[in-house]
Amino acid sequence: MGIGNAEDAERFGDKGANTIGHICEAKGGLHVSNMEGLGLGNLGDFKGIHPHNCQLGTTASLKEVSNGKDTMTGHWEMMGLKVEKPFKTFTETGFPQEFISLFEEKTGRKCVGNYAESGTVILDDWGEHQIETGDWIVYTSADSVFQIAANEDIIPLEELYKACEIARELLMRDEWKVGRVIARPFVGKKKGEFKRTSNRHDYALEPFGKTVLDSLKENGFDVYGVGKIPDIFVNKGITKGIHTVSNEDGMNKTIELAKQQQNGLIFVNLVDFDAVYGHRRNAIGYGDAIEAFDKQLQELMGYINDDDLIMITADHGNDPTWTGTDHTREHVPLIMYAKNLTNPRNLGLLESYGVIGATIAENFGVENPGIGTSILNQLERD
């Protein structure tokens, strides 16, 4: 959920992209009273989201310094890792036949598809074929992914997950190395009725270095990974993973955690913004989802303790009005709220998403093993 203005956007084909700005234009404005009150309107010119001289949260714009605009690059940078070499993509060509042949041999099933496509369109293209033949449906996107779709009534989940493990091992070769292999189970009997289930599972590359999450875990702090977080970090630095099926479910589970006494970090990814709306270029649905999140944010804010801090940010842009179906290279918002902030204000443009991890590390008194400068001393509190 970017806010535009990335200086290097043209290099990524994204000059002019602005996720929140263009969603606001498409919807005629967004009604997000909670994020507006915290200062979202001070981060850009967003129709319907007003700037405030007396914002209740401390805000900033974050510049991505890694080479990429994908999920893993953004999350890893948040926790201190600068990605210099972008992950491999096979958007234009599909995966090489050598890899496909090896995958077929090791899994015992043939493959169909093997091109870049929407996760729902690919099911209409090949879902009935899979029912007839049992062939794997494989595809990619503009992201660095190899995705395997399997009807749960035709191919058992366990077999799908095993196939993903096989693909992950094969795709460790440098010339094929993608960021993630994704299991995409679905159900349905015919074209137009196929629907993906919540049994998705990501098989990501391990982070190439130590992150702030590792520092927290090593020092005995809780690190809850809600949603895709455990997959993105391959469970490194995570003390407990919590599966979610939607944005609403992710927020409900986060609110339940906030009601309990915690000592550490709750790291949440809300996947619907990206998977359901951004990639499918649904600006109205995306806007509705932002408004729904804003309402749940109010409930979360009501349950935090005096020594808690909420940080709202994004791992990349995904402008639903942009060409193609890829993420977009943008600055991202950082909105921070605690009950006792005494001088909330806009800190302007900050270098790297690593600001987030560095601030978390200083707060808990643990090592920041990577990039990023803490802004903890700028969060003035009673």
β-strand pairing of 332-337 with 240-242:
unpaired
- In whole angstroms, what is the distance from residue 72 CA to residue 233 CA? 8
| Dihedral (CA of 35, 41, 43, 45) sign | positive
Give the distance between the most distant pair of CA atoms in the chain: 66
Residues paired with residue 59 on neighbouring β-strands, in sequence order: 335, 346
Does 327 appear as a known binding residue? yes
Q: 139 exposed, middle or buried (CB, 10 Å; 0-12, 13-18, 19+)?
A: buried
Does 50 appear as a known binding residue? no
- In whole angstroms, what is the distance from residue 143 CA to residue 86 CA? 11
Q: What angle do CA 296, 49, 38 make, to 5 degrees?
A: 55
Q: Which residues have a Cβ under 8 Å from the Cβ of 14 and sit 6 or more positions away?
A: 6, 69, 317, 319, 322, 328, 329, 330
Measuring CA to CA, which residue among 158, 249, 257 is closest to residue 199?
158
Contact 148, 136 (CB under 8 A): yes
Does 243 appear as a known binding residue? no
DSSP conformation class of 52: -
Binding residue ranges for Mn(2+): 274, 279, 327
Which residues participate in the annotated binding site?
274, 279, 327
